[in-house]
């Protein structure tokens, strides 16, 4: 399973998952031109009809703002859960509804979702090709047992480490915005993501990619240090802020085999 992360953060989210001949775009927060350009940077050329589905986690613009244009440009079905307002009316779009918590089959891939707290109806997503599984969980207000269970059944996951609580507290953001981000319906702090990682120790999860970092209220070094300190036997990396990156999802925990990686 290959994962092409094209953007992660408030500037726009999109990642393409490819396995067994199926390609699914998770999140639709970048326009078709940007998606095509960033895929090309990673050596991937996806023509219309070669993308088998677009799945957005929630209706916020950085995840859903370009959904209609992407679906049109790539002639791809748009899979929406009931908490995302309808764009069915848009002409020529293939919009398909699915229920949160029920398996959704897209080609060779099975997608499972679990609702997570956020100030819009929001899901964490698990993508499974029968051998490998990837989790995606950003825009999470607080850690829930359902989220831990979903990620614990993945080999690798892209999870947000949005902000450093101290940096946010001392930032120039208005208090109402600070409360929104730090409250239980906003975003995970580095400490919360570290707590999540600690709860995943001993599960199937072997790799954690940290994303959706705040540009003003976090640094890659802080996020990495905080989360890695609690993520025993889980490899932790921070996704690059501004360049696309191609990742591989592998099934085996090297540490468990005692191999010298
Ligand atoms: Zn977001
Ligand atoms: Zn959001």
User: 6: number of CA atoms within 13 Å, CB side?
Assistant: 28
Fold of the 2-257 domain: Metallo-beta-lactamase; Chain A (3.60.15)
Provide the residue count of the chain.
261
CB 14 within 8 A of CB 7: yes
Ligand 1 center to 259 CA (angstroms): 37
Scanning the structure block, which residue is given the tokens 């209609």?
68
Name the β-bridge partners of 194: none
Ligand 2 center to 257 CA (angstroms): 38
Return the domain boundaries, the chain: 2-257
Instruction: Please name the helix (run of DSSP H) or strand (run of DSSP E) that holds residue 179, with its range, or none.
Output: helix 175-182
Q: Which ligand is nearest to the CA of 8?
A: 1
pLDDT 10s digits, 240-259: 988 999 999 987 655 555 55
pTM: 0.94
Examine the pLDDT at 194 and tell me if it is beyond 70. yes
DSSP 32: H
Ligand 2 center to 21 CA (angstroms): 30
pLDDT 10s digits, 41-98: 999 999 999 999 999 999 999 999 999 999 999 999 999 999 998 777 667 899 999 9
Ligand 1 center to 85 CA (angstroms): 17
**Beta strand pairing call for 122-128 and 133-137:** antiparallel
pLDDT 10s digits, 94-132: 999 999 999 999 999 999 999 999 999 999 999 999 999
């Amino acid at each position: 399973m290959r994962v092409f992360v094209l953007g992660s953060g408030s500037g726009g989210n999109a990642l393409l998952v490819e396995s067994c001949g199926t390609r699914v775009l998770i999140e639709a927060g970048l326009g078709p031109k940007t998606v095509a350009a960033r895929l090309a940077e990673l050596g991937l050329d996806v023509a219309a009809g070669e993308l088998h589905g677009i799945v957005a986690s929630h209706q916020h613009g950085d995840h859903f703002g370009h959904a209609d244009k992407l679906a049109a440009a790539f002639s791809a079905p748009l899979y929406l859960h009931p908490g995302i307002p309808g764009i069915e009316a848009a002409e020529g779009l293939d919009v398909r509804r699915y229920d949160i918590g029920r398996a959704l089959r897209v080609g060779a891939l099975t997608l499972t979702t679990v609702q997570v707290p956020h100030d819009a109806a929001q899901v964490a997503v698990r993508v499974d090709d029968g051998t490998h599984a990837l989790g995606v969980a950003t825009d999470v207000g607080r850690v829930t047992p359902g989220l831990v269970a979903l990620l614990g059944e993945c080999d690798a996951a892209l999870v947000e480490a949005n902000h450093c609580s101290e940096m946010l507290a001392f930032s120039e953001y208005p208090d109402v915005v600070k409360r929104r981000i730090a409250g239980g319906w906003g975003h995970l702090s580095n400490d919360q993501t570290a707590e999540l990682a600690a709860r995943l120790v001993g599960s199937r999860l072997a790799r954690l990619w940290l994303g959706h970092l705040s540009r003003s209220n976090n640094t890659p070094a802080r996020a990495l240090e905080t989360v890695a300190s609690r993520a025993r036997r889980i490899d932790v990396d921070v996704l690059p802020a501004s360049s696309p990156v191609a990742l591989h999802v592998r099934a085996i925990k090297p540490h468990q085999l005692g191999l010298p990686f």
